[in-house]
Copies of this chain bind each other. A is one copy, B any other.
Amino acid sequence: MTDATALIADMATRARQAGHVLANAPTASKAEALRIAAAALRRDAAGVLAANAEDMARAAHLSPAMRDRLKLDERRLEGVAAALEDVARLPDPVGVVIDSAERPNGLRLSRVRVPIGVIAIIYESRPNVTADAGALAMMSGNAVILRGGSEARSSNAAIHAALVEGLEGAGLPADAVQLVPTTDRAAVGALLAAHGLIDLVVPRGGKSLVARVQDEARVPVLAHLDGINHLYVDAAADPAMAATLAVNAKMRRTGVCGATETLLIDRRFGEGARVADALIAAGCELRGDAAARALDPRIVAASDLDWDTEYLDAICAVAVVDGVEGAMAHIAAHGSHHTDAIITADEPTARRFLAEVDSAIVMWNASTQFADGGEFGLGAEIGISTGRLHARGPVALEGLTTYKWQVVGTGQTRP
């Protein structure tokens, strides 16, 4: 057994014990722990920001984008504290009766939500994930092992201390939220190999992290892969709505997973040029097939790679397709099962798209940028699952639970 394996085994065993307590803790205690943690973050703001300054000083060699993700300031720290309080106000999923029935023999069956158990979260430079993910796991009654990026280690330790203060202040076991105390990469391998000790791994980060986790994990993974999202403008689309939605879906924030990456235009739609112009006017580079390029001379030629690229940038692929059939064929060939939308005034066409496109989120007359747990009313999200099992799309408290069957009898025997 390596040091990392022994470390993770010890942490996971303590997490299992603490998780048993948290699984049966009242909602009020979990919420109280989060409120105390938020208060601790505000009280110790100077200390947390000083810890973050240590991380930033070590991060001088990182890109401006990475340094921005790492950076905390008073406003961001207040956001972290407020987010803890937001999670404390969410409805507790534990104990909810999903359904129940009485059998002819008098047995009464219920499916009752329970926490998954021990969850590991592996993430990169954003220190707020320590608080967000820790809070969602706590509120859903799970014990959690957090493994943040080495560049954020001082910030993460400071935020973790506030969570522990919250747990202890609410009479809950501190081991319910543990931070891996080493930045040794072997610890990640040990987490991924901890079959039977860890019930679920959630990677939060870039493609290379998610790919490593999916490749190595011997424990279940709730993974978020690419968002190669499509916006299909049907012949029956309102042109003004099409232009407005295309600009919002692509350009509101180009770096989020819900951003549209490919615009599909029905060959019979008369105002493709207007939509293209709106995108270009908003600063978007368009890469099109031959038919798309005929709409506007500023559209450059797309290569085959463009249809399969998540740009996360002010670039959009544009293809002209033959109706909803053509759009669905393109999405089936190139989509990533994340979020795809249709714009049309024709309900049967829309219903067909919503039914047949095989994505976690399908939309009609709405911007793909709404693909977000907060926008969906879930209060927060631990990620957007592009897998098909357990939870799909935005995952929040409910996605961090499972259920048990409770059977109540009066002495029934099976014949």
Stretch at the interface among A270-278, A318-326, A387-395: A387-395
Stretch at the interface among A145-153, A172-180, A404-412: A404-412
Tell yes or no: A377 within 8 A of B by CB. Answer: yes
Q: Please report which residues of chain A, range 98-127, place their CB below 8 angstroms from some CB of chain B when the two chains form the complex.
A: 101, 103, 107, 109, 114, 116-117
In the bound complex, do residue B393 and residue A404 qualify as a contact, i.e. CB atoms below 8 Å apart? yes
Contact with B along A336-359 (1 / 0, CB 8 A): 000000000000001000111011
In the bound complex, do residue B407 and residue A362 qualify as a contact, i.e. CB atoms below 8 Å apart? yes
**CA A387 – CA B363 in complex, angstroms?**
33
**CA A249 – CA B200 in complex, angstroms?**
33
Stretch at the interface among A3-11, A237-245, A288-296: A237-245
Contact with B along A184-223 (1 / 0, CB 8 A): 0000000000000001100000000000000000001000
* Minimal beta-carbon separation of A407 from chain B (angstroms): 4
The residue that A407 contacts in the complex, of B24, B199, B363, B413, with Cβ under 8 A, is: B363
Q: Please report which residues of chain A, range 240-279, place their CB below 8 angstroms from some CB of chain B when the two chains form the complex.
A: 241, 244-245, 248-249, 252
In the bound complex, do residue B107 and residue A370 qualify as a contact, i.e. CB atoms below 8 Å apart? yes
Tell yes or no: A364 within 8 A of B by CB. Answer: yes
In the bound complex, do residue A244 and residue B389 qualify as a contact, i.e. CB atoms below 8 Å apart? no
Residues of B within 8 A of A199 (CB): 388-389
In the bound complex, do residue B376 and residue A109 qualify as a contact, i.e. CB atoms below 8 Å apart? yes
In the bound complex, do residue B362 and residue A414 qualify as a contact, i.e. CB atoms below 8 Å apart? no
Q: How many copies does the complex hold?
A: 2
In the bound complex, do residue B389 and residue A376 qualify as a contact, i.e. CB atoms below 8 Å apart? no
Tell yes or no: A51 within 8 A of B by CB. Answer: no
In the bound complex, do residue B405 and residue A360 qualify as a contact, i.e. CB atoms below 8 Å apart? yes
Determine the residue in chain B with the shortest Cβ distance to A102: B377
In the bound complex, do residue B376 and residue A405 qualify as a contact, i.e. CB atoms below 8 Å apart? yes
In the bound complex, do residue A405 and residue B24 qualify as a contact, i.e. CB atoms below 8 Å apart? no
**CA A313 – CA B303 in complex, angstroms?**
65
* Minimal beta-carbon separation of A43 from chain B (angstroms): 33
Tell yes or no: A330 within 8 A of B by CB. Answer: no
Determine the residue in chain B with the shortest Cβ distance to A221: B220
Tell yes or no: A309 within 8 A of B by CB. Answer: no
**CA A293 – CA B156 in complex, angstroms?**
54
Residues of B within 8 A of A249 (CB): 413
In the bound complex, do residue B377 and residue A404 qualify as a contact, i.e. CB atoms below 8 Å apart? no
Tell yes or no: A367 within 8 A of B by CB. Answer: yes
The residue that A248 contacts in the complex, of B332, B390, B393, B414, with Cβ under 8 A, is: B414
* Minimal beta-carbon separation of A383 from chain B (angstroms): 14
> Would A412 and B367 be within 8 Å (CB), given that A390-B390, A403-B392 are in contact?
yes
Tell yes or no: A361 within 8 A of B by CB. Answer: yes
In the bound complex, do residue A389 and residue B356 qualify as a contact, i.e. CB atoms below 8 Å apart? no
**CA A404 – CA B366 in complex, angstroms?**
16
**CA A404 – CA B411 in complex, angstroms?**
41
Tell yes or no: A375 within 8 A of B by CB. Answer: yes
In the bound complex, do residue B252 and residue A362 qualify as a contact, i.e. CB atoms below 8 Å apart? no
Tell yes or no: A365 within 8 A of B by CB. Answer: yes
Residues of B within 8 A of A375 (CB): 103, 107, 414
**CA A403 – CA B359 in complex, angstroms?**
9
Tell yes or no: A369 within 8 A of B by CB. Answer: yes
Tell yes or no: A29 within 8 A of B by CB. Answer: no
Give me the interface of A with B, judged by CB distance under 8 Å. Answer: 20, 23-24, 101, 103, 107, 109, 114, 116-117, 199-200, 220, 238, 241, 244-245, 248-249, 252, 332, 350, 354-356, 358-367, 369-370, 375-377, 387-390, 392-394, 402-414
Listed A/B pairs (17) with beta-carbon separation below 8 Å: A20-B332, A103-B375, A107-B366, A109-B377, A117-B388, A200-B388, A220-B387, A220-B389, A245-B411, A350-B408, A361-B405, A363-B407, A364-B408, A367-B412, A370-B414, A389-B390, A393-B405
Please give 7 more A-B residue pairs, beta carbons under 8 A apart, in addition to A365-B411, A370-B407, A370-B412: A107-B375, A109-B377, A200-B389, A238-B411, A363-B407, A365-B409, A366-B408
